[in-house]
Amino acid sequence: MREIVLDTETTGFEPTEGHRIVEIGAVELFNHLPTGKTYHQYINPERLMPKEAFDVHGLGDDFLKDKPLFAAIGQAFLDFVADAQLVIHNAAFDMKFLNFELQRAGLPTLPNSRATDTLLIARRKFPGSPASLDALCRRFGVDNSAREKHGALLDSEILAEIYLELVGGRQPDFALATADKNKSSGASGTHTDWRPRPRPVALPSRLTEAEAAAHAAFVAKLGDAAVWLKRG
């Protein structure tokens, strides 16, 4: 299964108000494994950069003025994406901008059904907890120390790690797929005797200090008979 983890940077929030894409970054996964293939492109938005947007991603008018227009790179972007499923954090935002730019350039648009939204996955999995990219980095122990400002390619690389944790851990089906392949081909090796084993390094706790404090306060209200106070 081929997936493209994708992020964009823009001049603002609404393409219908004249805002445009200024950067696209994407990372290719195959069967939940990074292939090493990426797509990265800066884009001239044909307008001035608002200060609020510049403060987020640091892409200014002087830097972008000699970059290609979206119409010049749109087909190359579609060629990279091909028919892969897209993995995007807050997919509705990026999809509306991508489809606005594609339509403006006279190119085929991308169906929203092709987008897997990691923001929605995180909110379902951890209701009531922060679900920003930085919050999920803290939850899963993903290194985001290089993320001084938003950047489409760096954010895509970080999101790829987070996505694999959200769907069950990094390389969730790698060992099983290898075992099946070796078994079917008659290849020798230990993969045919694969068994799940503990992680060599345990993941950091996914329970935040605030969540732990809230639980302790809840248990305290239940009195001495609370089941959490009992030890088997």
**Residue 172, both tokens:** 């969730």
Residue ranges of alpha helices (H) inside the chain are 51-57, 61-64, 70-81, 91-104, 118-125, 133-140, 152-166, 174-185, 209-222
Please identify every residue annotated as catalytic. Answer: 150
Query: How many C-beta atoms surround the C-beta of residue 28 within 10 A?
Result: 21
User: Residue written as tokens 């290898």?
Assistant: 178
The angle subtended at Cα 161 by Cα 133 and Cα 159, nearest 5°, is 35
CB of 203 closer than 8 Å to CB of 140: yes
The angle subtended at Cα 210 by Cα 201 and Cα 219, nearest 5°, is 100
State the sign of the Cα–Cα–Cα–Cα dihedral 153, 159, 164, 165. positive
CB of 139 closer than 8 Å to CB of 126: yes
Distance CA 63, CA 14 (A): 22
Q: Which whole-number Å values give the CA distances from 224 to 215, 216, 220, 228, in the listed order?
A: 15, 13, 8, 9
Distance CA 89, CA 129 (A): 16
